[in-house]
Amino acid sequence: MAESSFKLTYATMFNPPEEMHTMYEQALAKIKANLGKEHGMLIDGKEHFSNEKFDNRSPANTDILLGVFQKGAAEDANLALKAARKAFPAWSRMKWQDRVRLVRKAAEIMDERIFEMGVVVSLEVGKNRLEALGDVAETADLLRYSCDRMEANDGFIQQMGRDPLAGFQATNISVLRPYGVWLVISPFNFPCALTGGPAGAALVTGNTIVMKPASDTPWTTRMIAECFRDAGIPDGVFNFVTGGGSTVGQALIDSAEVDGITFTGSYDVGMKIGRDFSSGKWVRPSILELGGKNPVIVSRHANLEDAALGIVRSAFGLQGQKCSASSRVFAEKPVYEELVARMVELTQKLKIGDPTDRENYNGPVVNKSSYRDYQTFCEDLTKSGKLLTGGKVLTDGEYAKGYYCPNTIAVDVPEGHQLWQTEMFLPIVMVAAVDSLEICMKRANNVLYGLTAGFYGAEDEADWFFDGIEAGVTYVNRPQGATTGAWPGFQPFGGWKGSGSSGKNAGGLYYLPLYLHEQIRTLIKRA
């Protein structure tokens, strides 16, 4: 395949050149010609196979077998952890500049493979081609950003003050050092960024890693591991295992060999991990990203064209299967009807179908469980309120063998309804007319979560929103997405309250030290 001159970035996603589509379609043909193969785990630099297997099928058409993967067990988890432990001393003592060089090489390889990896993301997750390519591109940039932060902080080695000891010379140095073996458990919706981002941060800081993806997306994570391997990162420094969360996943979480964990997933599972990691012989670091119920507030002074566009993009991109998706909209009454009308008009223009087809904005939801949840939620909302779009799964023609759920706008749902509080993780957005901005803010903050939030209004209302909203990522007057759109070095991503544990955002200035603990080195010499 010819090398592309196109560089996908946050900005170019909204106006890609024709070259991007050509390269994607070439990669699509290549990947489709190699479907159905068996893929091993990667442990200590070697292919590793288990006794049990599982099929990885496309949610767009479940007749399509993407590949056969290993259904790992506790013994496979232990082998991976053992390999990571064995590799840790040499990797942690390697010059940080050499680790940076290797991780940068992995990012370069990812850039070279962006179209093949993007196609796999589309096939596994159901992302349209722009969202899929964006996931891969963001991952490469996350790797580079971790390298940049390591360099900007000179390896996190800092001279401290000198003790004024008569007759002695004292040297005090602060050194941030890696913890050891780090576990990365990632979700299906961003299988690249939410695996590769934390993996890169852990690696460049000197930790060794075990990566365990969601069972819906093993192929994408396997390709990330191959980028690490082909960059020359030593055997055992990174390890890739697959299988169920209740088996291999739980064995990893329960192991005393794990020194730290980055987990992205449900609130309930994440909270259990946090409690477990606090109950051992000592407290181990856990970086937890646990979802969102993200509000958008629309002032009577808002530009409604921008507001409607930003809300629809954030509510329905990736079929609403983003922890950052806008799922609750609170609009002041004078603009409510016009806003809703604009949202309905835009939503009806979105095409749904095979996510690898250029014209489709929406693909399927990820699996049968989500498909059933959509039907349950829509039935509930129909009884309690009114659906202006969507509400019924698509089953005819091309949709018959996939999990297709149309974009749904719900209105007139009572304030006390449980779905104002529940993270649905589906293409469903609820809209309410509210008397004042103060009440909007109160309802926006009245949830367990605090991940992302958006506002549309006058410029002089922005500070009111920023100061009042309880969320880690906030956007004002952004048509590209009301609550979505993180990118390393520009819009770091992380949550407050029940959405996150660290208080620091991935892809930001303060993320990398989460993978390190501090050692103060005091050396005394006689003068």
Q: Which residues are catalytic?
A: 289, 323
The order of strands in the sheet holding 473-476 is 386-389, 408-411, 428-434, 326-332, 294-298, 452-456, 473-476
Dihedral sign from CA coordinates of 76, 81, 85, 88: positive
| 191 three-class SS | coil
Q: What whole-number distance in Å separates Cα of residue 318 and Cα of residue 106?
A: 26
| 280 three-class SS | coil
Number of neighbouring beta carbons within 10 Å of residue 446: 13
Instruction: Judge contact between 264 and 185, C-beta under 8 A.
Output: yes
Contacts of 403 (CB under 8 A, 6+ apart): 59, 126, 364, 365, 366, 367, 368, 370, 371, 393
Q: In terms of C-beta density within 10 A (0-12 exposed, 13-18 middle, 19 or more buried), how is residue 354 classed?
A: buried
Element (H, E) at 522: strand 516-526
Q: How many residues does the chain have?
A: 527
SS (H, E, C) 198-261: HHHHHHHCCCEEEEECCCCCHHHHHHHHHHHHHCCCCECCEEECCCCHHHHHHHHHHCCCCCEE
Number of neighbouring beta carbons within 10 Å of residue 173: 13
User: Is residue 114 left, alpha or beta, with left meaning phi > 0 and alpha meaning psi from -120 to 50?
Assistant: alpha
Number of H helices, E strands in the chain: 14, 22
Considering only CA atoms, which of 352, 293, 319, 347 is closest in space to residue 426? Answer: 319
CA dihedral 266, 289, 299, 418 (to 10 degrees): 20
